[in-house]
Structure formats: structure tokens, C-alpha cells
């Protein structure tokens, strides 16, 4: 088992099955998932990372990092032994998801903010080495005007030479030039 896979097994063990508002953490015969009453299906489930969706992120992440979308906390947990990561600011729009997950993924280097990522990027002055946009459900591909606007906002918050990546549903993590 790789370091990152064992860390994810811990993640599944650590986050309890629980309901908070309209969100539920589910564990059932190998499935570990975050569900919303609003979504027909899962907001996130463990197959996504078992298929290596986040490999490109894990290989490249470094420095001061911004992660949009806490979800089940994979992006935070899988780099906890990566000393190239100086800090992670995580922006999550749903306080109920923060309440379900944050205590089980937090570290001294990590901060969480309850906000819409577009609103957050529009007001902060901090610059990041690495930004991961992982708010699918909204689909931050650059195919729509709003997605393009979000990517442009994120680029403005990158340090010189910094990296912007987005997650496309069922597709993978892509670096935006």
C-alpha cells in the first residue's frame, strides 16, 4: 500500500458516518461517500481517488496552497506527509460539510474558510504557489463563461510561476496554462 493509499484508508476510518443538515457521510460495503439531499447520487465517493484522479495534483503540489472544495478532505489528507507543502487554505461553501469533515483532516499548516470561492478570490490579497479548484457539481472546466471567469480570478492570486489545476468530473486533474 502506498503512503497516500494508507493515508486514505485512515481517512475512511477517521471520518464517522454522520448526518449534518442536508449532508451525510456514508460507509457501505467499501463505498465511502458524501451525499447531499439535493443531489441524485453522491457529491463525492472514494472511487474517484482510487482511480487516480488526483495523481497529477499529488505529484505537483507545493508551497502555499489554496484548495477550493473541502468535500471528504482527500486533497488535504493525501499531502499530509509532503513537506513541500507549506500551508493549505481550504475554501468550502457549506458549513455543514466543514462540520462533518474538518476535525478529521485538519493540521497546523491548514486553515479552512466558509465562503464561495469566487467571493473569496475577489477579496483576498494573499498569493499562492498552487491553486486546486475542486468544486465539481459546479464544474470548473473552462468551457463556460463563469468557469473561465473563475479560472481568471484564480490566476490573479497565483505567485509568479505558480500552478493552477482544476478537477473535471470523472475526468482528472488538469493544469491550466
The C-alpha atoms of residue 147 and residue 167 are separated, in whole angstroms, by 12
57 binds ligand SAM (CB under 6 A): no
Judged by CB under 6 A, does residue 35 bind ligand SAM?
Answer: no
Pick from 35, 53, 65, 75 the residue near ligand SAM by CB under 6 A: 75
Nearest to 32, CA basis, from 53, 18, 22:
18
Size of the site for ligand SAM (CB under 6 A): 23
58 binds ligand SAM (CB under 6 A): no
Contacts of 21 (CB under 8 A, 6+ apart): 94, 96
Q: What is the Cα 169 distance to its own chain's centre?
A: 13
Rounded CA gap, 162 and 61, in Å? 10
Closest CB to ligand SAM among 101 and 162? 101
139 binds ligand SAM (CB under 6 A): no
Does 121 interact with ligand SAM (rule: CB under 6 A)?
A: no
- Among residues 15 and 129, whose Cβ is nearest to ligand SAM? 15
Amino acid at each position: 500500500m502506498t503512503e497516500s493509499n494508507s493515508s486514505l484508508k485512515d481517512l475512511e476510518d477517521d471520518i464517522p458516518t454522520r448526518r449534518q443538515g442536508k449532508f451525510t457521510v456514508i460507509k457501505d460495503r467499501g463505498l465511502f461517500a458524501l451525499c447531499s439531499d439535493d443531489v441524485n447520487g453522491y457529491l463525492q465517493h472514494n472511487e474517484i481517488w482510487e482511480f487516480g484522479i488526483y495523481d497529477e495534483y499529488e505529484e505537483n503540489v507545493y508551497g502555499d496552497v489554496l484548495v477550493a472544495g473541502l468535500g471528504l478532505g482527500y486533497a488535504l489528507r493525501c499531502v499530509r506527509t509532503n513537506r513541500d507543502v507549506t500551508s493549505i487554505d481550504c475554501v468550502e461553501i457549506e458549513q455543514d460539510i466543514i462540520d462533518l469533515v474538518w476535525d478529521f483532516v485538519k493540521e497546523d499548516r491548514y486553515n479552512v474558510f466558509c465562503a464561495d470561492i469566487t467571493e473569496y478570490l475577489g477579496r483576498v490579497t494573499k498569493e499562492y504557489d498552487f491553486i486546486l479548484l475542486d468544486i465539481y457539481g459546479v464544474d470548473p472546466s473552462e468551457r463556460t463563461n463563469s468557469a473561465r471567469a473563475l479560472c481568471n480570478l484564480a490566476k490573479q492570486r497565483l505567485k509568479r510561476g505558480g500552478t493552477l489545476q482544476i478537477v473535471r468530473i470523472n475526468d482528472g486533474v488538469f493544469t491550466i496554462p
